[in-house]
């Protein structure tokens, strides 16, 4: 097996439901992310061998959303593309598949241009969701699933627009192209158990990935756990017996947003930057998906 490295990792800003990105189709957002990732590492569009991209809510997007996103990014029409739908794990699964097939070819955000009816395009370069919180309302919010429940709108992720993309290649190819890798993929794994316990599935996937990578959890510097709900992070911190100060240090999906098809790769993009910002070495990302499944990936800062 060749060593697989990540040479570029970016995401678009995340917009609120009906917010600043609501007029931009998902395929165009994907195009911004792909183009940004390629430009950031200095590759040409024709150097990309294949594209894997997650997309979940595909109604009204037309055929082959990943293919549309690739063409939006200016890739060659001869580039094979595959759309992945594994609910919230879709983006991470795209990375895993890419690691098997080798895709050639703050700091994580690329701008999105939103056309206006009059005047210049609106440039979106910041996340929208966290700015909309009204802290005074949080203590009085009602539970959303049961009268005596604990989940409210304040500790659940929101519905958001956003895209993310990473460029993967073999370490051998990176050296040949004189590209400095951001991180190396150590291992990855999936897991699944009873659907009603989907919130705890990431701990199983993470343990599987740690075992495959022969990595101790004590050697992990930072974790990114996608927060479908705040309880997902809290439960898996407890199950894995890890330091909560190592988890989601720049904020999670409850604060930033959860674009379903993007979140699996978004948390990897964020994890890379967290490792860079804090001089960390080993990072782990885990995400649950609908039906009791979960995915996890381990990377090493380079």
- 81-84 vs 112-114, strand pairing mode: unpaired
Q: What share of the chain is helix, strand, coil (3-state, %, to 5)?
A: 35, 25, 40
Non-local (6+) Cβ contacts of 287 within 8 A are 88, 89, 92, 202, 225, 226, 263, 264, 267, 294, 295, 296
For residue 291, give the DSSP letter: T
Strand partners, 286: 225, 296
Do residues 241 and 194 lie in contact, with contact meaning Cβ atoms separated by under 8 Å? Answer: no
The yes-or-no answer on residue 41 being catalytic is no
Cα–Cα distance, 87 to 24 (Å, whole number): 21
Cβ proximity of 229 and 151 under 8 Å? yes
Q: Among 106, 89, 139, 102, which residue's Cα sits nearest to residue 3?
A: 102
Burial of 34 (0-12, 13-18, 19+ CB in 10 A): buried
Pull the structure tokens for residue 230: 């705040």
Whether 54 contacts 84, CB under 8 Å: yes
Residue of 41, 81, 245, 258 marked catalytic: 258
Q: Is 288 known to be catalytic?
A: yes
Query: Could you give the CA distance from residue 141 to residue 219 in angstroms, rounded to a whole number?
Result: 39
Strand order in the sheet with 222-225: 164-170, 4-11, 183-192, 293-301, 282-289, 222-225
Residue 258 annotated in active site: yes
Residue 125: CB partners within 8 Å, gap ≥ 6?
A: 13, 109, 111, 112
Backbone phi, then psi, for 6, in 5-degree steps? Answer: -105, 120
Which residues form the catalytic set?
Answer: 88, 258, 288
């Amino acid at each position: 097996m060749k060593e697989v490295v990540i040479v570029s990792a970016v995401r678009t800003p995340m917009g609120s439901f009906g917010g600043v990105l609501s007029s931009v189709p998902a395929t165009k957002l994907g195009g911004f992310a792909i183009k940004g990732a390629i430009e950031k590492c200095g590759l040409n569009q024709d150097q990309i061998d294949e594209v894997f991209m997650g997309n979940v809510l595909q109604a009204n997007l037309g055929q082959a959303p990943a293919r549309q996103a690739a063409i939006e990014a200016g890739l060659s029409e001869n580039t094979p593309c595959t759309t992945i739908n594994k609910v919230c794990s879709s983006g991470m699964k795209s990375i895993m598949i890419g690691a098997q097939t080798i895709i050639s070819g703050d700091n994580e955000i690329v701008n999105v241009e939103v056309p206006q009816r009059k005047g210049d395009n609106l440039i979106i370069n910041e996340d929208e969701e966290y700015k909309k919180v009204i802290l005074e309302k949080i203590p009085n919010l009602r539970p959303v699933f049961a009268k005596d429940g604990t989940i409210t709108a304040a500790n659940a992720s929101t519905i958001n627009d956003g895209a993310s993309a990473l460029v993967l290649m073999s370490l051998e190819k990176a050296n040949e192209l004189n590209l400095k890798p951001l991180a190396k993929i150590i291992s990855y794994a999936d897991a699944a158990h009873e659907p009603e316990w989907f919130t705890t599935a990431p701990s199983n996937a993470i343990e599987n990935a740690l075992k495959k990578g022969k990595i101790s959890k004590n050697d992990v510097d930072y974790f990114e756990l996608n927060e479908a709900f705040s309880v997902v992070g809290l439960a898996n911190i407890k199950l894995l017996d890890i330091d909560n100060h190592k988890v989601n240090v720049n904020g999670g999906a409850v604060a930033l947003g959860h674009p379903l098809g993007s979140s699996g790769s978004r948390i990897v993009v964020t994890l890379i930057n967290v490792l860079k910002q804090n001089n960390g070495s080993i990072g782990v990302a885990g995400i649950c998906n609908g039906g009791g499944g979960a995915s996890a990936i381990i990377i090493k800062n380079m």
